[in-house]
Structure 1
């Protein structure tokens, strides 16, 4: 980003809580809600059975997604969540904050009942508390617990079968399509991190017709792909440029250091004033901790969406508005890197357009007009 982008009772209880919470999955008897796959959460990590152990009481934790059976969960139509033939269970049937979550023989008790809602919480109705990453931490081995629902990122989950993410979150790009678009992506750039970040900007790819929603998603991801070499690079690869992104005329200076504000993340956020503005908007101190954009997947995606939804560059409008109002993909290029426009770098413009054309094809919609700037 350049400087220009400044039993029955239990069933009744579960169903009642589901109604209150606006639940969309895990309600007993709702067969369409069932699914098998990974459950992703804080920091883009997967819900994991420690050591793939099947003993009663085995810790359930966060761990880097690895495709093993220890991370394959079946969301049951009976309100259970199962892995390795056993159930996700609240230790001792406790309803207290901090009660640990474990693997246990399925027994039909309230300690093994779960409701996922449209807000991406996974709630134990018996305790009326949320599945929570302890700490909060996203480190490998972080144990899961139940805690009073507070809306934090450490309580947001993507559940197979439609709850809280993928198609269930309303995002017009499925995880399979995302992987198709980015076959060589860095594991840091997770789909879960993106869908988590989207909760900050709910208008993104949800405004207008279905075609417009998909065009906007494709436009964002095309620009992101161009900026990061297909979601490969996290940091700006030209390290010689790193010291050039500190504007000492700003009253807050560059507290993290002269070279701390180089391009990072999906939109390659750069300059101290952009880190300050993005951090203020997102409620994160990025001025003093710029490397959060390179170490926290959700925050990293949030910075990309922050600029997409609020930054205008030299376009006179945001990229979001350009796509929603029919100004075309070319206007998003001008908002993100106007230096490439007006013949400044036609090869770079064409690279973005080519990616956009590829991605709208994946999503099955036309590209629309005004593709270049």
Structure 2
């Protein structure tokens, strides 16, 4: 009733093309659940006899069509053990064709080119969590004989089922994947959401300097905005010069005292080293005379001051003794300072340990001998 061939009679050649109609049922009716992992169907034994008479090329591929809904796909054949007038196919294939149990489908022999490229699209991002999805896909496609664009195939891995759409295929809409080298590409999953890219944070614009802001604001803004910005800025610190900031060393090798540098403003150093501007020749002469007079006064004051007796050799010893006793002969050296008021007595500083040691030691204090005997 359902078996027909190209021209329409039983046993007709039909130009070597097999065509037949069968009622479809899922492979679970044959108690062969492993067939769900591929795209192969079960045909009745009579279909094998008719295919042998038509000399159909291997592998045997068929086009399965649901003429009621205008859906079609391609598949291979696994065994010829189905009941007459029935075809058993995987349940996922029936879902793609929108078939129910017992619906009529039309089978037609087909010749498909070997595939060179196929693009797949998973339904969920869980498929990307597989450690090696390409290896899993290669293992699964060994149970398939052909792929058709628009189909959804299942992949069972680790007790979980993943669904993948056939998006693109080359060199045709339906290709054979038996003994062929086919390149596989993946499209983003259907539930994949592109992450929102946040724009890079822009750095805050730097505040304009006072003089530049005042100059760009015009004549009125130069005195207002520029002056206010300059007033807010802190005045720069005046550079200072540190005198005696180095380290000192004594000739006798003893440790030197701690140096205490004196901070002198750099402006004061510059003005002291340069003569005052705007002064005439008279002012220069007066300043020179004043410096000479002060130097002479300092010399007279130092000459009138009594000298401390120390280690003297020769004529200086007499002057030292006269200075100690206040002899009138010593006044000649300080006569130049008689017109001046007497200098205040200087406080005697406590002798340091080094001076005490020098005072204790006297040169040429021993007993002398002559060559005459």
Place the TM-score, normalised by the shorter chain, in its bin: under 0.3
Structure whose residues are more often helix by fraction? 1
Q: Which structure has more RCO (C-alpha within 8 Å, separation ≥ 6)? A: 1
Give the TM-score taking structure 1 as reference length: 0.20
